[in-house]
Structure 1
């Protein structure tokens, strides 16, 4: 098995591509307790310096603690853990899947339009950088759209620029009701 690695715009996150499907639904783990839901995430969190794990469709994004060891020391053990997991045939998740974003009833037409734009144009671009972006809320009165960044995009120095220059401009163009985009932390 050959696993490729790719840098992300976040200097503290690397993308590991095992050449196969990783997860049909994105999953993010920010603590060892959360990681217990996945044998792979748990194995990665047991490595020194791992601060976050994100499963995308065809990649695993690992975020390191900036105060911990550098990528030169971390890369080989991470590659070994990812390879061991996929070669073993073990399931990605234990006992079902991690909770995803649930919909609270029916979306308004504007919210449905926002989510469709996120899914068709924005999320695929963000996934290329090892992360994900999720709808949080839309305030119809103020026009403020709040989004959640996950994976390599969470805590990335360029994520606010991505939100303002990319996502906000696209949303304003296609959904004129959106006046501003903010990130929920």
Structure 2
């Protein structure tokens, strides 16, 4: 029988404490339980909720993370909790009953930093949306239940989705080290439960808007169309890898100025000016000669 040893590890959130073990507790799955009813498939989590100060239980890999209510401080109870965990695990009691629900979707989510310190990119191992969607606030998110859930978190400022990732812009009130796990688990659980990330109605509206691009582009001059083609082929893949997007807005023939809109992680990024001047602007000048003198960006 395995002998478990617990190591108590502090986190950047004073309300959350990690109890790391020397053996894995799950088969690669992550679990979050908000109350004792929510924990019906985890005897360990149910037992922990009998402690009146336990608010949330996370079980993942080789650790158990516990979030407490403010009625106690961790220094006064952490040793008691660690001892209880050691006794429970060494008794061979079940941790989580990991029977697969037929409705569950196999998905993993990992967090990836972007050049914008206010934006984190959460990448899935599968396609989650058929097109790009940007939500600036809760009102704009009416067609996405996932975005609405994210906006209910007080530190979420904007949500951007494309293909297999979600880019989240946060307010300065919280640091990424405090909130990344919660965001990652919210996104993973939402997808794993088989929910629509964006409603079919919203997707249909988006599809109609993008299915006939020629209608909008018919009035564009040849130079504008050439700029769009270059942005689509050479620039968009690069900014998408950073969790953002770029859209052509207009071309001013007299001043030879290209106006673009930055979205997702690119919007408001401190390094976006450098990227424009030393990346996009240089590329357009090299490829289009004296037709382009400057690129100006607006944050989407």
**TM-score, with structure 1 as normaliser:** 0.93
CA–CA distance in structure 1, aligned partners of residues 198 and 155 of structure 2: 22
Kindly indicate whether residue 273 of structure 2 is the aligned counterpart of residue 178 of structure 1.
no
* Alignment root-mean-square deviation, CA: 1.6
CA–CA distance in structure 2, aligned partners of residues 118 and 146 of structure 1: 12
Higher relative contact order (CA closer than 8 Å, sequence separation 6+): 1
In the alignment, what sits opposite 2:86? none
Provide runs of 4+ in structure 1 moved above 4 Å. 98-103
CA–CA distance in structure 1, aligned partners of residues 234 and 186 of structure 2: 32
Kindly indicate whether residue 256 of structure 2 is the aligned counterpart of residue 150 of structure 1.
no
- The one of 160, 176, 179 equivalent to 1:74 is 179
Counterpart mapping for 1:149-168 below 5 A: 149-168=262-281
**Rg larger in structure:** 2
- The one of 155, 159, 166 equivalent to 1:53 is 159
In the alignment, what sits opposite 2:230? 117
Measure how far apart 1:105 and its partner are.
4.4
CA–CA distance in structure 2, aligned partners of residues 34 and 96 of structure 1: 11
Structure 2 unpaired stretches of 5+: 1-106
Partner secondary structure for residue 130 of structure 2? coil
Structure 1 unpaired stretches of 5+: none
Measure how far apart 1:24 and its partner are.
2.5
CA–CA distance in structure 1, aligned partners of residues 238 and 181 of structure 2: 27
CA–CA distance in structure 2, aligned partners of residues 148 and 71 of structure 1: 26
Kindly indicate whether residue 120 of structure 2 is the aligned counterpart of residue 14 of structure 1.
yes
Measure how far apart 1:146 and its partner are.
0.4
Measure how far apart 1:25 and its partner are.
1.6
CA–CA distance in structure 2, aligned partners of residues 83 and 73 of structure 1: 17
- The one of 27, 35, 56 equivalent to 2:133 is 27
Distance verdict in 2 for CA 1:13–1:124, change over 3 Å: same
Measure how far apart 1:90 and its partner are.
1.8
State the aligned residue count.
184
